[in-house]
Amino acid sequence: MQSSHQYDYDLPGELIAQSPKDKRSASRLLIVPPPGEALIDGVFSDLVGRLRPNDLLVVNDTKVLPARLYGRKTETGGKFELLLERLQGGAQALVQIRASRAPGAGTDLTTEGGTPLRILGRDGAFFLVACSDGGSFEALLYREGETPLPPYIQRPVDRSDSDRYQTVYAKHPGAVAAPTAGLHFDEPLLDRLTASGVGLARLTLHVGAGTFAPIKSDSLDEHQMHAEEIAVDQALVESIRDTRRRGGRVVAVGTTVVRALEAAAQSGELKSARGETRLFIRPGYAFQVVDMLITNFHLPRSTLMVLVSAFAGVQRIREAYAHAVANRYRFFSYGDAMLVQSRAPQ
């Protein structure tokens, strides 16, 4: 049995980044070589010297929706806060709702902007809601929604968040949380990497709110993984095959890229894929696609912390996090990053 407690760690609250750096690529970068070699402190733009010609950088081009809405229950006037989990097409969406009392099926809601909603039912911890006027739920979010900053950012959302809580290459709307490793890239850095011979490829994984959910069970075996939508196209599959033929490495920008690529290789061979994945990557997992990982520092006892530990080795990640805390790195979404240069032996 794998215990979830070994993925816990002590983090001083002041190290949780509340705002991004003025310049994306100015964040710090902790370089994590193979076990036995010393950790290296750097800055994110050092990637140019750490990646080689023929390496392939794979990014997640999901776009964060303005996924948080506020309003009142139409009948009682009680306040509610709604956070999108996933669009269901047209007028419907799967959401989380915070209210003094959980609303039941048939409850009517009214957003602060006056849009009528109705709760159609439950799906586990989520509510299925619809725009009562038949309008597009996605259009409602763009009209009235707020950037869904994570709960550990304890300040009001400001106008700059709509840009900075989004990667510069975001394209396909659907996420409710940013693929945060990608927040460090700006256009000049991407141009320098391309000029040095590093390739760039894209996939899409729409990050759900479940990414912030802690593992509550003592055993990893008992954790119910959240589902997320992925799209890995054939062009990316071919790019990875070409990279291998040229002796390059596949460098995943974030845990979402790792999860999407490994989910698309579950048959034993990387193939194009579109649909949902509930893949839970934990120590003992045999990685098939990813060679290097760029990632932010993650929440204790989170599935992301488990994934990174599976990739680099539990002890190596514990060493890296202890170093980051001691050296005052900034943590979580708007924080600093790590470059894990090789995966642990399988």
pLDDT digits (tens, 9 = 90+) for 63-92: 999 999 999 999 999 999 999 999 998 999
Instruction: Confirm whether 154 is domain-assigned.
Output: no
On whether both 177 and 257 belong to a single domain, the answer is: yes
Could you tell me the residue range of the domain that residue 121 belongs to?
A: 68-144
On whether both 46 and 97 belong to a single domain, the answer is: no
What band does 125 get if pLDDT is binned at 50, 70 and 90?
confident
On whether both 10 and 56 belong to a single domain, the answer is: yes
The rounded mean pLDDT for the chain is 95
Instruction: Confirm whether 149 is domain-assigned.
Output: no
The answer to whether the beta carbons of residues 230 and 277 sit under 8 Å apart is yes
What tens digit of pLDDT does each residue of 297-334 get? 999 999 999 999 999 999 999 999 999 999 999 999 99
What band does 289 get if pLDDT is binned at 50, 70 and 90?
very high
- What tokens appear for 258 in the block? 């790792």
Amino acid occupying residue 171: K
Mean pLDDT for 129-143 is 97
The pLDDT of residue 27 is 97
Strand partners of residue 97: 82
Mean pLDDT for 27-43 is 96
Mean pLDDT for 213-225 is 82
CA-atom Rg of the chain in angstroms: 20
The pLDDT of residue 121 is 96
Final residue belonging to a domain, choices 144, 178, 194: 144
The answer to whether the beta carbons of residues 306 and 220 sit under 8 Å apart is yes
- Give the separation between CA 256 and CA 339, rounded to whole angstroms: 15
The pLDDT of residue 4 is 78
DSSP H or E segment with residue 241: helix 234-245
| DSSP labels, 15-33 | GB-SS--SSGGGSEEEEE-
- Say which residue, 21 or 124, is predicted with more confidence: 21
Q: Where would I find the H helices in the chain?
A: 47-50, 137-144, 161-164, 187-195, 234-245, 255-263, 303-312, 314-326
On whether both 185 and 137 belong to a single domain, the answer is: no
Query: With 90 as the cut, is the pLDDT of residue 5 above it?
Result: no
Query: With 80 as the cut, is the pLDDT of residue 346 above it?
Result: no
How many structural domains are present in the chain? 2
On whether both 194 and 278 belong to a single domain, the answer is: yes
Whole-prediction pTM value? 0.95
On whether both 53 and 136 belong to a single domain, the answer is: no
Q: How many CB atoms lie within 10 A of CB 105?
A: 11
CATH number at residue 72: 2.40.10.240
Amino acid occupying residue 339: L
What band does 218 get if pLDDT is binned at 50, 70 and 90?
confident
Mean pLDDT for 34-63 is 96
Query: With 90 as the cut, is the pLDDT of residue 293 above it?
Result: yes
Query: With 90 as the cut, is the pLDDT of residue 215 above it?
Result: no
DSSP H or E segment with residue 308: helix 303-312
Query: With 70 as the cut, is the pLDDT of residue 342 above it?
Result: yes
CATH number at residue 222: 3.40.1780.10
On whether both 126 and 231 belong to a single domain, the answer is: no
Final residue belonging to a domain, choices 112, 144, 176: 144
Q: Where would I find the H helices in 177-313?
A: 187-195, 234-245, 255-263, 303-312
Share of the chain above pLDDT 90, in %: 89
Instruction: Confirm whether 151 is domain-assigned.
Output: no
The pLDDT of residue 2 is 81
On whether both 227 and 314 belong to a single domain, the answer is: yes
Instruction: Confirm whether 346 is domain-assigned.
Output: no
- What tokens appear for 19 in the block? 């705002």
Mean pLDDT for 285-306 is 96
Instruction: Confirm whether 345 is domain-assigned.
Output: no
Query: With 80 as the cut, is the pLDDT of residue 212 above it?
Result: no
What tens digit of pLDDT does each residue of 153-175 get? 999 999 999 999 999 999 999 99
The pLDDT of residue 113 is 96
Phi, psi of 61 (to 5 degrees): -95, 25
- Say which residue, 224 or 299, is predicted with more confidence: 299
Instruction: Confirm whether 150 is domain-assigned.
Output: no
Phi, psi of 205 (to 5 degrees): -130, 120
- What tokens appear for 41 in the block? 């402190």
- Give the separation between CA 329 and CA 337, rounded to whole angstroms: 9
On whether both 103 and 170 belong to a single domain, the answer is: no
Instruction: Confirm whether 232 is domain-assigned.
Output: yes
Phi, psi of 50 (to 5 degrees): -95, -25
Query: With 70 as the cut, is the pLDDT of residue 1 above it?
Result: no
Instruction: Confirm whether 156 is domain-assigned.
Output: no
Q: How many CB atoms lie within 10 A of CB 192?
A: 14
Q: How many CB atoms lie within 10 A of CB 29?
A: 22
On whether both 57 and 79 belong to a single domain, the answer is: no
Mean pLDDT for 133-149 is 97
